[in-house]
Amino acid sequence: VIPAAFAYIRAGSLDEALRALADPEAKAVAGGHSLIPAMKTRIARPSLLVDLRDLDLRTITVGDETVTIGALATYDEVSRALAGVSGVDALRECAASVGDLQVRNAGTLGGGVAHGDPASDIAAGVLALGASLELQAAEGTRSVAADDFFLGPFTTELRQQELLVEVSVPRTGPAAGSAYTAVEDAASGYPLAGAAVVVGREGDAVRSCRIAITGLTGAPQRLPGAEAAVVRDGVGADIAAAIADLEPATDDADYRRHLAAVVIARALRQAWERAGERSNA
Ligand X SMILES: Cc1cc2nc3c(=O)[nH]c(=O)nc-3n(C[C@H](O)[C@H](O)[C@H](O)COP(=O)(O)OP(=O)(O)OC[C@H]3O[C@@H](n4cnc5c(N)ncnc54)[C@H](O)[C@@H]3O)c2cc1C
Residues that bind ligand X (CB under 6 A): 27-35, 37, 52, 71, 98-99, 103, 107-108, 110-112, 114-115, 117, 120-122, 158, 163-164, 188-190
131 Cβ contact list (under 8 Å, min separation 6): 91, 125, 145, 146, 167, 168, 169, 170
Output the smallest distance, CB 200 to ligand X, in A.
27
- What is the C-alpha separation between 277 and 281, in angstroms, rounded? 6
Output the smallest distance, CB 231 to ligand X, in A.
28
Q: Which residue is nearest to ligand X (CB)?
A: 111
Closer to ligand X by Cβ: residue 158 or 242? 158
Output the smallest distance, CB 119 to ligand X, in A.
6
Closer to ligand X by Cβ: residue 127 or 237? 127
Q: CB neighbours (10 Å) of residue 60?
A: 17
Integer angstrom CA distances of residue 113 from 50, 79, 178, 226: 18, 16, 19, 24
Closer to ligand X by Cβ: residue 113 or 176? 113
- What is the C-alpha separation between 123 and 228, in angstroms, rounded? 21
Closer to ligand X by Cβ: residue 87 or 112? 112
Output the smallest distance, CB 125 to ligand X, in A.
10
Which amino acid type is present at position 46? P
Name 184's bridge partners: 191
